[in-house]
Amino acid sequence: MNMDYLPELLKGFGTTLELTLVSLFTGLMLAILFTIVLSLKVRALSWLVKLQILLFTGTPLLIQIFLIYYGPAQFDVIKNSVLWPWLSQPWFCAMLALALNSAAYSTLLFKGAIDAVPNSDWEACMALGMTHRQALLRVILPHAARRALPAYGNEVILVMKGSSLASTITLMDLMGYAARLNAQTYDTLTVFTMAGLIYLTMTGVLTLLIRLMEHKVLAFSRS
């Protein structure tokens, strides 16, 4: 196998990692916000959150990226606004699309986990004289986390894999460099195998990290 490709591919590795982490963080913050909105049942707002979830879980990520990157250029209002320097940047657009996509799926996940905690848990807490806050922080959320964390681990991997789609809007991430090397050398099998190995390593390391985190966070649920 030709090792010359490795340094070139690794140039894109940083972009992939950065894009994944920033999108995940933004997505997580949004998801927490959306979950709070849904849990508190604010009427107009939760309607909006539901619409966001419907749109972002019902359409392909690739279209979302294209829509956010190419879409705004159609409107002169946006082109002349202060948002344009951000929206004309592929990195920001890919990040935004990934974050919104991840937020939609994570919200479903978090809401499902909270709803799955039986009502009797609340009642038991109240019977024991806990305050609402105590019950939520000490009993309900840890139990919800137990359900949500393993699934959120999947979401982390999905965002990492999804970040490769950023290469389609000219962002030079790992996949971007792989596609360019392929076009330059026609050494398809080698180039893509190496890129694949890097991605697999990332998936492996991420999976391991998530397992470790689960182990730490869920220590309370083991006897």
Partner 1 sequence: MGLTTLFAEATVMTLGLALSSLVLGLLMALAFSLAELSRCKPLALATSTVVAILRGLPEILVVFFIYFGSTHALFLLTDEFIEISPFVAGTIALSLIYSAYASQTLRGAFMAVPKGQTEAAVALGISRFHCFFRIILPQTWRHALPGLGNQWLVLLKDTALVALIGVHDLLLQARMTAASTYEPFTWYGIAALIYLAITLVSQNILERMKSRSNRHLTSSHSVTEGPVEKTVSPGEATA
**Which of residues 138 and 146 has its CB atom nearest to partner 1 in the complex?**
146
Q: Would you say 11 or 161 has its CB closer to partner 1?
A: 161
Tell me the two tokens of residue 203: 């998936």
Of the pair 25, 70, the CB lying nearest partner 1 is at 70
Look-up: residue for tokens 């994944």?
20
Structure tokens belonging to residue 162: 């999804």
Q: Nearest distance from residue 160's CB to partner 1, in Å?
A: 8
From CA 108, how far away is CA 53, in angstroms rounded?
8
Binding site for partner 1 (CB under 8 A): 54-55, 57-64, 66-67, 70-75, 105, 108-109, 112, 150-151, 154-155, 157-158, 161-165, 167-168, 175, 178-179, 182, 186-189, 192-193, 195-196, 199-200, 203-204
Least distance to partner 1, CB of residue 199, Å: 6
- Give the nearer residue to partner 1 in terms of CB position, either 66 or 122: 66
Residues 6+ apart with CB under 8 A from 40: 46
Q: Which of 160, 164, 159, 176 is nearest to 56 (CA)?
A: 159
Please say which residue, 61 or 125, places its beta carbon nearer to partner 1: 61
Using the structure block, give the residue that is written with the tokens 């279209």.
63
The DSSP letter of residue 166 is G
Task: Give the shortest CB-167-to-partner 1 separation in angstroms.
Answer: 7
Q: Cβ of residue 72: shortest distance to partner 1, in angstroms? A: 7
Q: How far apart are CA 88 and CA 15, in angstroms?
A: 18
Specify the residue for token string 């879409």: 71
What is the nearest approach in angstroms of partner 1 to the Cβ of residue 150? 6
Between CA 178 and CA 17 the distance in angstroms is 15
